[in-house]
Structure 1
């Protein structure tokens, strides 16, 4: 089974750790590394501002500032330790062809994928894939979505499940990409015993991946063998969720602290 990984340049957990993991049970044929431009990041900010309005956008910015000041140091320390664990488990990042791009849908990325001829693509990126790219791998493009779909779509599903106190849906979804936003076939849900008082939602999102790598490898093998069938998600609530809000973070932490009191 040939695979290609798509990830962001700044994410060593994916670029090194998950690349080595993929190479442990597939033939990793290449890595697409996304290095976004400032213009792309500004465009994402403008989209969020239009989506939520000025007042709520201040709430989003406050969460970003708090995360950078109060949480980012611990998150980086955890990620460094996690990457060291992955290196011990799977070895260093494999020496395979790579391509750098700002846009995952760039024509050169499409050419790279067609030349690599992957059976599956694992997309660990914030950008949406267009139909031409989705159609390249024989088995499809897959994402390890943070949160349980379809209830928690978009990139911050774990945060919103925690904020909603929907603790049974704090986890990860193995999702096959289609033309929508996290609306494709679901091939599995994965969880672990998270500690919401001592683990940030960022750590939870990464750790749920790390704790389930063995099960995910087995599932991909079943997909390749044709024995895995998507789960039935019809008649379930479906919602997209945006960036985390500081006010909801404070409410989540207060509720979590109250639950911890004997």
Structure 2
């Protein structure tokens, strides 16, 4: 099965790339650099302000700028434990790789048409547009570090702990549709956390410990498993909510009163 990976260069994406490259025919990689483009980031902030308000977005900004860098430093030893002796490879070093300013650029579609993959895997990119989805002529799956549809969006593991829902700390592989993490589920895996984990390491843990979900999903799709079959096996309606970054006040409350780091 010929696979194309749409991804970023974050550590989580590197872990996924390393795993897939070591086991499957990853014939090409598209690296989404939209998070590095200032004008794209400004548009996203404006949309977020319109949706959530200036106060909430400013609080999220403070959390991202003040707290996350500290948690990354504190959690580095734990990250090293999670990764272990595995050598992590950067998707930028793939033999057949392109970088795009936006995953929905024409360059992405031209590349996919040229490569003719049997499966497209998404990990860590911005949202695929309806136009892009319509022009990819093969199954598209997403590796989501959270349990969908209950925890869609960002930081699904953190929000599960915040909501005192430890049983739903894990990851999901689902088909990609027009919504945000709303596609029909192929496989999910729940895992546990350690006291040494924090907001940053939760995501690394969810990625590393749920990589075997790819084996199940790829095998199913190789045997002809479709969106229709996935939909039929996910008939039960579940609570669905989209989550974003916590605000500084939310994080402090969770840390002081809920014990969620």
TM over 0.5: yes
What are the residue-to-residue correspondences of 1:223-238 with 2, within 5 Å?
A: 223-226=221-224, 229-230=229-230, 231-238=233-240
The C-alpha deviation readout for 1:195-238, integer Å capped at 9, x for no partner, is 2x421233212212211223422331122113584241542211
1:46 counterpart residue number: 46
1:122 counterpart residue number: 121
Indicate if the aligned counterparts of 1:8 and 1:34 stay in contact, CA closer than 8 A: yes
For 1:98 and 1:206, locate their aligned partners in 2 and report how far apart those are by CA, in whole Å.
24
- Tell me, yes or no, if structure 1 residue 107 matches structure 2 residue 109: no
Indicate if the aligned counterparts of 1:119 and 1:137 stay in contact, CA closer than 8 A: no
For 2:139 and 2:52, locate their aligned partners in 1 and report how far apart those are by CA, in whole Å.
33
Q: Which has the larger displacement, 146-155 or 220-229? A: 220-229
Q: Which has the higher contact order (CA 8 A, sep 6+)?
A: 2
1:27 counterpart residue number: 25
Indicate if the aligned counterparts of 2:145 and 2:156 stay in contact, CA closer than 8 A: yes
For the residue of structure 2 that corresponds to 1:208, the secondary structure is helix
For 1:235 and 1:246, locate their aligned partners in 2 and report how far apart those are by CA, in whole Å.
32
What are the residue-to-residue correspondences of 1:37-116 with 2, within 5 Å?
A: 37-76=37-76, 78-79=78-79, 85-87=85-87, 95-116=94-115
The C-alpha deviation readout for 1:77-96, integer Å capped at 9, x for no partner, is 555665664328xx886743
Offset at residue 109 of structure 1 (A): 0.7
The C-alpha deviation readout for 1:9-48, integer Å capped at 9, x for no partner, is 3x14424x32232123321111101222111112222222
For 1:181 and 1:250, locate their aligned partners in 2 and report how far apart those are by CA, in whole Å.
27
Offset at residue 191 of structure 1 (A): 2.0
Unpaired runs of 5+ in structure 1? Answer: none
Offset at residue 99 of structure 1 (A): 0.6
Indicate if the aligned counterparts of 1:4 and 1:28 stay in contact, CA closer than 8 A: yes
For the residue of structure 2 that corresponds to 1:58, the secondary structure is helix
For the residue of structure 2 that corresponds to 1:57, the secondary structure is helix
- Tell me, yes or no, if structure 1 residue 141 matches structure 2 residue 143: no
Q: TM-score, normalised by structure 2?
A: 0.85
Indicate if the aligned counterparts of 1:143 and 1:175 stay in contact, CA closer than 8 A: yes
Unpaired runs of 5+ in structure 2? Answer: none
The C-alpha deviation readout for 1:139-186, integer Å capped at 9, x for no partner, is 511111122111111122222222222222221111110011111111
For 1:81 and 1:257, locate their aligned partners in 2 and report how far apart those are by CA, in whole Å.
22
Offset at residue 137 of structure 1 (A): 5.4
For the residue of structure 2 that corresponds to 1:30, the secondary structure is strand
Indicate if the aligned counterparts of 1:60 and 1:243 stay in contact, CA closer than 8 A: yes
What are the residue-to-residue correspondences of 1:183-262 with 2, within 5 Å?
A: 183-195=182-194, 197-226=195-224, 229-230=229-230, 231-257=233-259
RMSD: 2.6
For 1:52 and 1:154, locate their aligned partners in 2 and report how far apart those are by CA, in whole Å.
15
For 2:47 and 2:75, locate their aligned partners in 1 and report how far apart those are by CA, in whole Å.
27
For 1:137 and 1:225, locate their aligned partners in 2 and report how far apart those are by CA, in whole Å.
20
Q: Which has the larger displacement, 178-187 or 212-221? A: 212-221
For 1:87 and 1:77, locate their aligned partners in 2 and report how far apart those are by CA, in whole Å.
16
Indicate if the aligned counterparts of 1:12 and 1:83 stay in contact, CA closer than 8 A: no
